[in-house]
Amino acid sequence: MSNKLKEDVPDSVQAQARLMARKELEARLAELNMTSAGADSYGALLAAVQAHIAQLRDLLERAFLPCFSSVCISIFIDVNTTTDLATREEERVWVKRQTDGELDDTRLTEGLTGEATVYKRRGMAKPEPGRPQVK
């Protein structure tokens, strides 16, 4: 609607439209068991995280383009939550002082002196008790 048409609307109609909008807002807040102060607080919090929500939505849309629905997202969240929260028996670490594998940069001087155990490779090791898990 153009600004010219908005200016041509009589004041009585604008007042009636505002009154109807207030009544609808009060009805919606009553449905949600929320006061107008609560709605203002919610609006402020929502405005603070709106950009993050949009970024996450874009990321999920790109990741699940063929099946972007609440079902796919809930399955994705459930699967990732259970695997992240489940304790792992073993975690991947660098096993050092190996005779083959990738060259360990921290043992170059030992390699120059003729030592054979200057390599490292990925392996599984049990985490130390009480140590936080690292992904």
| Residue 43 within a domain | no
| Residue 65 within a domain | no
How far apart are alpha carbons 92 and 88 in whole angstroms?
A: 10
| Residue 59 within a domain | no
Number of structural domains (the chain) is 1
pTM for this prediction: 0.38
Instruction: Give pLDDT, residue 31.
Output: 92
104 against 3, higher pLDDT: 104
70-99 residue pLDDT tens: 555 555 555 544 444 455 667 788 888 888
Q: Tokens 């990732």 sit at which residue?
A: 80
Residue 16 in this model has a pLDDT that exceeds 50: yes
- Other C-beta atoms closer than 10 Å to the C-beta of 4 total 7
Q: What average pLDDT score do residues 118-129 get?
A: 80
Q: Where in the sequence is the domain holding 97, given as residue range(s)?
A: 91-125
| Residue 101 within a domain | yes
91 against 10, higher pLDDT: 10
- β-strand 119-125 against 91-98: which pairing, if any? antiparallel
17-74 residue pLDDT tens: 999 999 999 999 999 899 989 999 999 999 999 999 888 888 887 776 655 455 555 5
How far apart are alpha carbons 7 and 13 in whole angstroms?
A: 11
| Residue 120 within a domain | yes
| Residue 77 within a domain | no
| Residue 16 within a domain | no
Instruction: Give pLDDT, residue 74.
Output: 54
| Residue 119 within a domain | yes
Instruction: Give pLDDT, residue 49.
Output: 92
